[in-house]
Chains A and B, each alone.
Chain A
Amino acid sequence: MGGSSPCASCKLLRRRCTKECIFAPYFPSDDPRKFAIVHKVFGASNVSKMLQELPIDQRGDAVSSLVYEATARVRDPVYGCVGAISYLQNQVTQLQMQLAVAQAEILSIHQMQQDPSNNNTTLLPSQLLDQDYSEKFLLLSSAENNNNYDFLPQYLSFASSSSSSSNVFQDSEPLKRESFC
């Protein structure tokens, strides 16, 4: 490559960095820690295999997510990202409960306003709130039931308040897919 420095992976692996090096676009030499951490958790050959199976335009995102996962695993050698997922799932559940309580409160207030003397008045949520909100609330509830994350707690007894799981993502919010390019 005419004198340009080898990429971080070839430096760590102590080999010649060719122009076809699969790692070079994603592991520049100025950030050796990035490759070191994915190599530690996944191994260079596994990372190479994973990248080779992906179209080139998706490899950048894949590398970013592998780095995130490897970092989480190093921070929490027992639960890794799974601890973070358990914690976030708990947050979602709590928020849904709060939403349900707030929703019930609005219904109750509105029923009192409609007819204070008649406690049996029933009004559909869509008549009380925006149509938009009520649909979103239902979607949020059903999404939680329809996603495939429900198997998570089956045989993993995480404490959702465990300090190790919440430490995993004390960095800023993880990758947004649209920001990967």
Chain B
Amino acid sequence: MISGRCAACKNQRRKCPSNCIFSPYFPANDPQKFACVHKIYGGSNVGRMLQGVPTYLREQAANALYLEAKWRIDDPIYGCVGIISSFYEQIQNAEIELAKIQTQVAFYKLQTQHVEAEPNLEVLQSQSINMEQFESDNPTITSWFN
């Protein structure tokens, strides 16, 4: 029945057999999907690539081919490789920023540890003042230690 043709067979203007390799993945209601892959890979290449993967993975393969074809149509020079490069750049930038922040965190933590140590110094300082006072009040006693 002509109305039962998949998008691939409609595009190729041929009968759609019951075992058509394209029909599960290129339904008639989405003609753009097959048009994209046909433009970039060609129908026979797509059929060959689908035949080269196990049946349970063919849907994923067809969808991946469609995405790559679409990206290639959108960017005829770089296709999906432009996207990969862009992600690499994002990752590099993020890693640099992360290292920068982690360095700042480490710095702040060190500062915090230093600040926590200061009150102890004040106590010691106040103790030494009291000692001076004691020595001046009790010169005889302290002279034993000199």
Contacts and interface: CB of A to CB of B under 8 A. Distances in A.
Partners in one complex: yes
Interface of A: 41-43, 45-46, 50, 53-54, 58, 61-62, 64-66, 68-69, 73, 77-85, 88-89, 91-92, 95-96, 98-99, 102-103, 105-106, 109-110, 112-113, 129, 133, 136-137, 140, 143-144, 147, 149, 152, 155-158, 169, 173-177
Given A95-B94, A175-B81, A43 B109 contact: no
29 contacts: A43-B41, A43-B45, A53-B76, A61-B78, A64-B81, A66-B79, A77-B53, A78-B57, A79-B64, A80-B64, A81-B68, A81-B84, A82-B67, A82-B80, A88-B88, A89-B87, A92-B87, A92-B94, A95-B94, A99-B94, A103-B101, A106-B101, A106-B105, A109-B109, A113-B108, A140-B94, A152-B67, A175-B78, A177-B82
The 7 closest A-B pairs by CB, nearest first: A88-B87, A95-B94, A65-B81, A82-B64, A102-B101, A109-B108, A81-B80
Nearest to A110: B108
Q: Taking chain A's interface residues, is the majority helix, strand, or loop, or is none over half, making it mixed?
A: helix
A35 B11 CA distance: 28
A79 B60 contact: yes
Contact of B40 (A42, A88, A95): A42
B88 A143 contact: no
Contacts of B82: 65, 177
A116 B100 CA distance: 25
Contacts of A96: 94
Nearest to B95: A95
A27 to B, nearest CB: 17
A50 B76 CA distance: 7
Interface of B: 39-42, 44-45, 49, 52-53, 57, 60-61, 63-65, 67-68, 72, 76-88, 90-91, 93-95, 97-98, 100-102, 104-105, 108-109, 111-112, 115
B93 A85 contact: no
A137 B79 CA distance: 27
Given A42-B41, A43-B42, A46-B42, A85 B83 contact: yes
Nearest to A42: B41
A173 B88 contact: yes
B111 to A, nearest CB: 7
A22 B78 CA distance: 18
A141 to B, nearest CB: 10
Given A43-B45, A102-B102, A155-B63, A174 B84 contact: yes
B77 A58 contact: yes
A177 B77 CA distance: 10
Contacts of B111: 113
A152 to B, nearest CB: 7
B87 A113 contact: no
A146 B52 CA distance: 36
Given A61-B77, A109-B105, A84 B91 contact: no
A147 B97 CA distance: 20
Contacts of A64: 81
